[in-house]
Every structure is written in structure tokens, then in C-alpha cells.
Amino acid sequence: MDVVSWVRGFLGENTEIMASLACFLLLFLWFRRWDGLPTSWPVIGTLPALCVNTGRMHEWMTDFLRGAGMTYVLGGSWGTPVDVIVTADPANVAHVFTANFGNYPKGEVYARVFSVLGDGILKAEGEWWAFQRRKAQALLSDARFLAAVAASTARKLDEGLVPLLDGLAASGATVDLQDVLMRLSFDLTTMSVFGIDRGCLAADFPHVPFAAAMDEAEEMVVYRYITPVPWLKLQRYLKIGHGQRMSEARRVIDASIAELISLRRERAANVTGEAGTDLLALYMACQAEVGKVGADFDRFLRDTTLTLMLAGRDTTSSTLTWFFWLLHKHPDVEAKILAELREHPPGAGHHRTTTELRCLVYLHAALSESLRLYPPTPFQHKAAARPDTLPSGATVRQSQIVVVSFYSMGRMEAVWGKDCLEFRPERWLTAAGRFRHEPSHKFVAFNVGPRTCLGRDLAFSQMKAVIAAVLPQFRLEVAAGFAARPKPKLSVILYMKDGLVVTVHKRQEDRSSAATYISS
């Protein structure tokens, strides 16, 4: 009886609280969806669903896009300008990134979120973007530059990666393969961009502030996407949270790039008649064409080299990490790649030329299949300059954001068939054994349309060179806790959240087994 009296008294004294709870319950029942799609609440939009699914963002997007027919509108929260259209429909991708490219610039949100990039090619628009792309395309196809990259890659493999793996095989120690590959790609990229080897892959795994700051900035970018703008502004004003972490990362990045540019200029001044083949030297040689002097030209070099660092480092390291994990899960694919490597040995020396790497068709198919399932950049977004209608029927308002989930596209049955979740390199091969090319709006790992990645061929060559150096000599055994399915890290780059711990073993060649695979 005392309990009943207390409840009656509590309800009488807290009428406002109980009315609020009743309203919330009614709204919950009104807006709750039973079809598995995210609920859009008043004021807060789909922010609760985003927060609940932060740890599995890409899988969550894949799940609701399957149920929504590959396109869905996420309601924006207070402080967010407009609702967001999320899609994995190739027809929409072709429309936004190619057919109607001029109507879909990066937009204000991209500029705010990726402010760390400055005015580099990834963020630039209009004529300035077109000029940077033409210049980057010319320099990336320069024969001297490509020869220098091939030579530095071979040297880094011989003097860095292979000795490191030899030591790990001898000691039996475990190692985070993702960390090793990130260090390798960081050194390779600094060599090609700045002409300087930072020694990130040294046996003692040194701490490299530049690399750590890049990782931090990439992680913070995602939070800028999903966090309401007023809260971001408050953090920046109070110098706390993600805003403070991004500011510190940018400070380290700027200082590191300034140091590298200074070192490169000093070396050029001290070596008479040096014809630099790294990208920084090539860009410095065309200052008149760029049309900038003094601090403006230094800022151009900073923005350009940072963009090249991000593009070069992350494509190879992310892809190779997922690739080696997939090989561990599919030993039959690994055996076929080994057989192909034995069937097509290098013509001279122990490293294959770029032409010889192109002959590794099955390896190219396996890498493409890995990229289909685990694209280094899991999503991309555009903002509409004018109202539009997508091929799927979705109406796009002016300034509305369209997010394309590259990760989800590789997992759509309507795009890749009923076996879309399987790792099957054979889907990329014709009956005659030739490589089957897919349109870029379907295979989106290297972006689509006019902004397609210029370093695609270079990335494939470097990844093949790494695999060809590692696979015949070493067997990588993934630790038990990592063998099931690693979780993607919440970042603009699709890294594994907890890394990939492996044990390295020297490979014992089995010639008879190799002959069997070759003949079959």
C-alpha cells in the first residue's frame, strides 16, 4: 500500500516529466520503422542510428541499402544543412560522377571536412583543378619518374621488407602486418614524392610523427562528417575534442612537409647539375607554369605533396593488408598466384619489370577482387550545384549531398551477382584466361569519371612487386584471433581496426604441387 501511495505522489508531483515521457513514447511508436531502415527523428534526424552503428558503419550502410533498393535518404539533424542521399547504384554513380559531372562539385562540406588538404587536387575545383590534373598526369607518366619509382621500390624491398620478414621468420615473433605495410608504403611514397627515405620500415619500428599525424587526420575526418556543425564549432572554439586533435595533427603535418621540402631544396643546391626525378623536384622545376612565387608557391608545394602522400601511401597499404588476409582465408588462390609467379619469372635480376608485371593476369584479377570487396576509400560524396533527379528516381535538391558507398557497391547482388560476398578472382577472367575489364561506375576502387585516380597503374605495379617479392619466399600465417573477419576502422581509409597480426614462415617450395597448378 505504501508503494502505491508513493507512485501516486510521484506522478502527481512530476506531471511535466511524465508528459514528456508519454510524448517521447508516442513519437517512438510513430516513427519507428519495422523494415530495418534507419528512422528519421524530429530535430535529430538519423543521428541516433549513426551513433549506434559507428562501430560498424560500412556494414550498416550496406544492410540498409540492400533493403532500400541501393538508394536511401538519411534525415539530417539540427545543424546539418540538408538530408543526405546514400547510394550504391551504379546508374546513379555514372550519372553523378560522369554524365552530370559539372553539377556535382565537392561542395562546402567537403572543403570543411578536408580542410587539412589545403587547395590540392583532391579538393580543388574548376580551372585550378583542371590545371593540377593535367600537370599531375604529365609528371606521373614521365619515363624518368617511373624508372626511379621502380628502382626505389626494388631497393626498398631488398634492403627493407625482405630482411625484416627474414628476421621475423627466424625469431618466430608475431608482427602487425598492417603496420609493416603502412611503413613500407610510407617510405615508398616519401621517396617518390620527396626523393627522401624516412626509414619508417627500420627493424626497430621507429615512431614517425608525420605518418602518425596522417593517421590521426584521416580518422578525424570521419567524425567531421557525422558530427553536427554547431558541436564542431564549439569544440574548435574551446579547443577540445576532435577539433583539437585535428589541429595538432595538421601542425605536425605542416612542419614535416616543410622540413622535407627544405631538405630537398638543400640537396638540389648542393648537388650541381642534379636532375631530380621525384615529384617534388619535377613540380619545383615548373614554377613558372604554376604561376606562383614566394609563400604562395610554398603553399602550393605543401598542398600538392600532401595530396600525393595520402593517395600514394593509403592505396597500396590498405589494399595489400586486406589482400594478404584474403589469401590466408583462400589458400587455393594463393597457390594459383604462386604458380603464375613461377610460370612467369623475371627476365633479368630477381625483380620483374613493369612489362613483366603486366603478364601476371591472375594476380591482377585477385587484386581487383580484393579491391572490389575492400576499396581503400570506402565512400565518396558530392554536393549538387542545381536540383537534379537521379536515375534511381531520387530527387536531389540544390546543395544536397550524395554519398556513394564504394564498400557497399561491392556487396550488392544486383551489381555483382549472387556470389557478391565471395572472394573469387575468376570473375575477372574470360574463358580464354584474359583479364575482364569492368566499367568504372561498377568497379569504383579508383574513383569514377574525370576524377579517376591518376596513379592507378603505378599502384598496381607497386602492389604486384611487393607480392612477387614476398609470396614465393614467405608464408604469412594470420593469428587465431584475426582469422575470422577483421573489423574496418572508422576512417576515410579502409584500414583494419585492430591491425592484422601474423607469424612469418620461410616457404618450402613444392615443385610438384606447382607443376600441378600450372598444368591445370
Cell of 32: 519507428
Neighbours of 43 (CB within 10 A): 9
Q: How do residues 278-328 score in pLDDT, each as one tens digit?
A: 899 888 888 888 889 999 999 999 999 988 888 888 889 999 999 999 999
Cell of 347: 627476365
Q: Is residue 244 part of a domain?
A: yes
Q: Is residue 1 part of a domain?
A: no
The pLDDT value recorded for residue 176 is 95
Q: Is residue 454 part of a domain?
A: yes
**78 band by pLDDT with thresholds 50, 70 and 90:** low
Q: Is residue 15 part of a domain?
A: no
The pLDDT value recorded for residue 350 is 81
Amino acid (one-letter) located at 414: A
Measured CA to CA in angstroms, residue 240 lies from 232, 236, 243, 384, 490 at distances of 10, 7, 6, 32, 20
Number of H-type helices and E-type strands within the chain: 23, 9
The pLDDT value recorded for residue 80 is 56
The pLDDT value recorded for residue 267 is 84
C-alpha R_g of the chain: 25
Spatial CB neighbours of 283, under 8 Å, sequence gap ≥ 6: 135, 139, 290, 301, 304, 305
Q: What are phi and psi of 503, to 5 degrees?
A: -110, 135
Q: Is residue 28 part of a domain?
A: no
Neighbours of 459 (CB within 10 A): 21
Find the domain containing 448 and state its range. Answer: 36-519
In whole angstroms, give the CA distance from residue 484 to residue 478. 10
In whole angstroms, give the CA distance from residue 67 to residue 54. 19
Give just the sign of the alpha carbon dihedral 412, 418, 422, 425.
negative
The pLDDT value recorded for residue 513 is 42
**514 band by pLDDT with thresholds 50, 70 and 90:** very low
Q: Is residue 10 part of a domain?
A: no
The pLDDT value recorded for residue 126 is 83
**12 band by pLDDT with thresholds 50, 70 and 90:** low
* pLDDT at residue 71 tops 60: yes
**246 band by pLDDT with thresholds 50, 70 and 90:** confident
Q: Is residue 19 part of a domain?
A: no
Question: Which comes out higher in pLDDT, residue 144 or 268?
Answer: 144
Amino acid (one-letter) located at 480: A
Q: Which of 219, 260, 199 is nearest to 113 (CA)?
A: 219
Q: Which of 156, 190, 161 is nearest to 177 (CA)?
A: 161
Print burial letters for 97-109: b (CB count within 10 Å at least 16), e (below 16).
bbebeebbbbbeb
Q: Are 204 and 214 in contact (CB under 8 A)?
A: no
* pLDDT at residue 155 tops 70: yes
* pLDDT at residue 276 tops 90: no
Cell of 61: 550502410
Tally of domains in the chain: 1
Three-class DSSP category at 234: helix
The pLDDT value recorded for residue 63 is 93
**35 band by pLDDT with thresholds 50, 70 and 90:** low
Instruction: List the CATH number of the domain containing 257.
Output: 1.10.630.10
In whole angstroms, give the CA distance from residue 244 to residue 445. 31
In whole angstroms, give the CA distance from residue 520 to residue 515. 9
Spatial CB neighbours of 464, under 8 Å, sequence gap ≥ 6: 352, 357, 360, 363, 364, 367
**520 band by pLDDT with thresholds 50, 70 and 90:** very low
